[in-house]
Structure 1
Amino acid sequence: MEKQSKKALLAAVAVLSGFSALAQQGNGSAGINEATQMVTSYFDPATQLIYAIGAVVGLIGGVKVYNKFSSGDPDTSKTAASWFGACIFLIVAATILRSFFL
């Protein structure tokens, strides 16, 4: 008899814990949705910041390439390609990240 009461008590605890898990799921999904909305709200300012950094890097690179070209440095084309590639990478990375996560 005592064995059956232990089984009944264990079954009751299992059912009650299942109900509490279902009740907590609603709160968890609301929290996840709120966190997702907060994170996605940062993408537009972050994208604009990356574009601004790309513009500054492009300007600095243009000045460096101009200085090398003016001084007759034979390494000018490699420097121009690397700075141009860095600017393109920043713009493409910001666009792809934004489209991937939003």
Structure 2
Amino acid sequence: MKKLFFSMLFFSIAGALHAQGNGTAGIVEATGMITGYFDPATKLVFAIGAVCGLIGGVKVFNKFSAGDPDTQKVAASWFGACIFLIVSATILRSFFL
């Protein structure tokens, strides 16, 4: 009885493992989907960086016109944010494509 039980158990496990395969097709499909989304995503990040740059330019101009003493700090932070967005999109694109 034990032999029959264990043999049926092993056959059912072997059948389940054989049905799953090695998953290569799923990994290839997921890789194709991810690489397909990277080009529009990098363009979106570049557009967000451009809008950030315009908003930052207006804010810095307003502070400069008002004679605010911390204009350089605000300009550097906005410029740094725009550069970070552009560089991060470029680096991620070079890593994954």
Unaligned residue ranges in structure 2 (runs of 5+): none
Corresponding residue of 2:35: 40
1:99 CA displacement: 2.3
Query: TM (normalized to structure 2)?
Result: 0.82
Query: TM (normalized to structure 1)?
Result: 0.79
Matched length: 97
Corresponding residue of 2:77: 82
Alpha-carbon RMSD across the aligned residues, in angstroms, is: 1.9
Structure 1 residue ranges (4+ consecutive) displaced by more than 3 angstroms after TM superposition: none
Corresponding residue of 2:66: 71
Offset from partner CA, 1:21-71 (integer Å, 9 cap, x none): 134214x32122212211221111000000000011111111111221122
Cα separation, 2, equivalents of 1:70 and 1:13: 80
Q: Which has the larger radius of gyration?
A: 1
What percentage of aligned pairs have identical amino acids?
Answer: 67
Alignment partner of 1:50 is 2:45: yes
